[in-house]
């Protein structure tokens, strides 16, 4: 992932790559990711907050990727997102001349 990030200059998110603390630590220390994804359903609420704190320490953008975005899940995402102070919208090329804005 670090080689891809350096070669393309594109922001890289963890998604299914860094799924435990050891892998997340390596991904961050190797500058392999810009957006660690920490879904509170997988990492737990306190784990997702810890990843947000890690993002604050390393100047990264916390992200979440989940198919559950309503009700209590939305409240969990909001609480973790509120804990994360580095919120930068990113413009990411998605192909065919389009760009996705991630905030």
Reported as a single tens digit per residue, the pLDDT across 38-83 is 888 888 889 988 998 888 888 888 887 766 667 787 788 777 877 6
Number of domains, the chain: 1
Provide the pLDDT for residue 92: 56
**Residue 103: band (very low, low, confident or very high) from pLDDT cuts 50, 70, 90:** very low
72-83 helix and 45-58 helix, angle to the nearest 10 degrees: 30
Domain of 7, CATH number, reads: 3.20.20.120
Q: How many CB atoms lie within 10 A of CB 59?
A: 9
Domain that holds residue 86: 2-102
């Amino acid at each position: 992932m670090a080689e891809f990030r350096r070669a393309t200059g594109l922001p890289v998110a963890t998604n299914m790559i860094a799924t435990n603390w050891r892998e997340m630590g390596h991904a961050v220390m190797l500058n392999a990711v810009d957006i660690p994804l920490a879904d509170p359903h997988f990492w737990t609420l306190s784990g997702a907050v810890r990843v947000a704190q890690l993002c604050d320490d390393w100047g990264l953008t916390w992200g979440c990727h989940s198919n559950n975005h309503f009700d209590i899940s939305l409240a969990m995402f909001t609480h973790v997102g509120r804990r994360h102070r580095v919120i930068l919208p990113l413009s990411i090329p998605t192909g065919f001349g389009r760009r996705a804005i991630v905030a």
